[in-house]
Amino acid sequence: MANTTYNAPPAVSGWQQRALVVGVIGLIATLAGYFVDHDQFYRAWLVGFIFVLGITLGSLGFLMIQYLTGGSWGVATRRIFEASARTIFPIVALLFIPVVVGMHSLYHWTHLEDVAKDPILQQKEPYLNVTFFLIRAVFYFAVWALLASFLAKWAKQHDDTGNHSFRQRLADLSGPGVLIYGLTMSFAAFDWVMSLDPHWFSTIYGLLVIAGQGISSIAFTIVIATRLWHREPMNHVYNSGHFHDLGKLLFALIMLWAYFSYSQLVIIWSGNLPEEIPWYLRRFSNEWKPLSWALLVFHFILPFSILLSRGLKRNARKLVIVAGLLLVMRVLDIVWLVAPEFKQTDVGGLWMYATAPIGIGGIWLWFFFRNLQSRELLPVKDPQFEQALVAASHH
C-alpha cells in the first residue's frame, strides 16, 4: 500500500471538544471547592498535576527509549508519545502555577516560624527554601521543554525532508536525554511530593515515581491507540502484535512499580526508625487503610494476573480495560502519596480528589489532541516504517 495512504493527521476534533467540555466542568467544580476548603483545593490540584505530569514525562521517556532501541511498536505509537510530550510547555508548566501559589498550604517547610523551632528543618533549609525550590522548578521545566522541543523539531524536519541525519540526531539526543529525565524527575519527585513530609526520606522514591509515570504513559497510549485503531489510517497498521508489545511493556512496568514499592516498604519497616516508620503507619491505619489494600489488589495483583495471559495482551478490546483501570489506580496512588500527609478535618472536601484530576486531565487532553492533529499520524519516512508494516502484515 502506498505511503500516501498513511500520510494524514487523525480526525479527532470530536474527542478534543468532549475533552474540553469535561475539563471545564471538572475545573469549575474544583474551583468551587476552593471556597469550601482552599487547603484541600491545593492538595487535590497537586494530585491532578502530578497525574498529568506522569503521562507527559513518561511519554517523553518512552519516546527517547524508542529512538534508541527501535521496534515496530514504537513507530506505530510514536506520534502519541510525541503529542503527549509536547504538552510539557506551556500547558503542564502553567498547571504548576497553583502549586506555587499554594506552597504555604502544601509544604510545612515554608513556615519560617516552624523551621525556627525544628532542628531537622534547619539542617535541610539550604535545600528546602522557597527561592531554591522555585529555581529548581524553572530548571526542571526548561530541561523537559528543551528535550521535547528538539525531539519534535528534528522529527518534523525528518518527516519533511527524509534526511536520516535528523533521525541520527534524535538518537544522539535520546541517550543522554533519558539520563537527564531520570535525574531531574527524581529531584522533582523529592521536591513536589516527598517534601510534603520534610522529616521523611527515601532514596528509591524518585525511581518509584518514574515507574508510576511509565505505567501512566503506556496505559494512556494503549487507550488512545485502541481508539485510533478503528480509524484511518491506523486500521491498516495496528494489529494484535502492536498491542501485545504494549501489553508486555505495561506488564513489566507493573512489576517494576511493585518491586520498588515493596523494596521501600521492607527496608523502612525492618529499620523501624521513628523518623521513617510513621509515614507508613499513616497509610496503613484509619481512613487510608482501605486505599492501601485497593492499591495492592487493583494496581498490582489483578492487572499482574490478567496480563499473564498472552491472548489478552493481543486483544485490544480487553487490554484497554486493564489500561483504563490502571489510569484510575494511578490517580489513587498519587492520592495515597499526598493526602495522608494532612489532617483531614472535613471529609466533605475529598470529592476534589476526583474533580481536580478530571478537570486538569480534560484540559490536558484538549492540548494533547491538538498536538496529535498537527502532525501526520505515522512517520512514513522513518527507516523502520516499512519494517513496521511488514511486522503488521505478519500478525
* Mean pLDDT, 10 residues at a time, the chain of 395 residues: 54 89 98 94 98 98 94 86 97 98 97 95 97 98 98 94 93 97 98 97 96 98 94 84 94 98 96 93 92 98 98 97 98 97 76 97 97 90 77 54
Q: What are phi and psi of 272, to 5 degrees?
A: 55, 45
pLDDT at 5: 54
**What is the DSSP code (8-state) at residue 156?**
H
pLDDT at 233: 79
Q: Radius of gyration over alpha carbons of the chain, in Å?
A: 21
CB count in 10 Å sphere of residue 154: 20
pLDDT at 393: 52
pLDDT at 1: 42
3-state helix, strand, coil in the chain (%, to 5): 80, 0, 20
Cα separations (Å) of 225 from 218, 294, 301, 312, 353? 10, 27, 25, 16, 27
* Residues making up the chain, counted from first to last: 395
Taking the chain, what is the end-to-end CA distance rounded to the nearest angstrom?
17
pLDDT at 392: 53
Cβ neighbourhood burial of 222 (10 Å; 0-12, 13-18, 19+): buried
pLDDT at 12: 81
